[in-house]
Amino acid sequence: MLGPAAFTCGLLCGSFLNVCIYRLPKKASVISPPSHCPACGRRLRVAELVPVVSYLWQRGRCRSCGVAISLRYLLVEILTGFVFTALDWRFGWPAILWHAPFFATLIVIFFIDLDCQVIPNRLVLLLAALMPVRLLAGEVLFLQAAAGMLLGGGLFYMLAVLSRGGMGGGDVKLVTALGLWYGWKLLLPVIFLAFFCGGAVGLVLMALKVKKRKDAIPFGPYLVLAAFFVSMWGEQLVNWYLRISGLI
């Protein structure tokens, strides 16, 4: 296990993920130009790019123009650090080498869909591109992955057609990629947990009159949360369900 190194790598990765979250919806390069203040355009110095520390040192403001920097930048860095630490605890070395990029991509999807209600195709393709490593590592069988892809893609495509746009095409593609990654067996709890969490949050938002019944609510974040939970405790969840249902 990597221990503190996993958390540090997560912090550094989270800093880059912030760039992706900000630029990808604008169809801008995540490499050029270098990191800069979105308000005044000044290029950030090396000291201003240190995760967490630079934000706290600058008190959440640009050193040049004084414009407030969103607290999300700090939260994404810390979140990614904790996610990488959890993955290190769950999978260890060397499996973290492919699980960490997978969940880093899901974190970007989470925040972009939350903000813009869109899931960029290139991110879904990146998730799918990581799949051969998981197959070679023997974490999932090819037939299970293929069945998961067909199950997830087919089910959500049907939901998208029946809902007449209530379920977006990005959600269909994301579930297809998740089905490929998890296989049909673990995709089922991912779908169940995503709908459960999405429904519960939706009811709370309507009760608080933050959202109305027909208002669109992005579903991608709930799929990401469910995917993380299943990666951590999916096998235990499936076995628990089989036991209480009397199937085993």
pLDDT in tens, 139-175: 999 999 999 999 999 999 999 888 877 788 899 999 9
Q: What is the model's pTM?
A: 0.93
Specify burial of residue 191 (Cβ count, 10 A radius: 0-12, 13-18, 19+).
Answer: buried
What is the pLDDT, as a whole number, of residue 241? 72
State the greatest distance between any 2 C-alpha atoms of the chain, in Å, as a whole number. 64
Q: Is the pLDDT of residue 234 over 90?
A: no
Q: From residue 62, give the alpha-carbon distance in Å to each of 12, 58, 71, 122, 245.
A: 19, 7, 13, 31, 56
How many beta carbons lie within 10 A of that of residue 208, not counting itself?
8
Measured CA distances, 106 to 80, 113, 123 (Å): 11, 10, 8
The pLDDT value recorded for residue 42 is 79
pLDDT in tens, 220-231: 999 999 999 999
pLDDT of residue 32: 84
pLDDT band at 245 (very low <50, low <70, confident <90, very high): low
Under 8 Å CB-to-CB from 193, ≥6 apart: which residues? 222, 225, 226, 229, 230
Which of residues 93 and 42 earns the better pLDDT score? 93
Residue 214, pLDDT above cutoff 80 = no
Percent of the chain with pLDDT strictly greater than 90:
60
Q: What pLDDT is stored for residue 4 in this prediction?
A: 85
CA angle, residues 170, 172, 174, in degrees to nearest 5 = 70
Confidence of residue 130 (pLDDT cuts 50, 70, 90): very high
Q: What percentage of residues in the chain have a pLDDT greater than 70? A: 97
What is the pLDDT, as a whole number, of residue 246?
Answer: 62
**Which amino acid, one-letter code, is at 137?**
A
Distance separating alpha carbons of residues 180 and 150, to the nearest angstrom: 8
For residue 248, the model assigns a pLDDT of 59
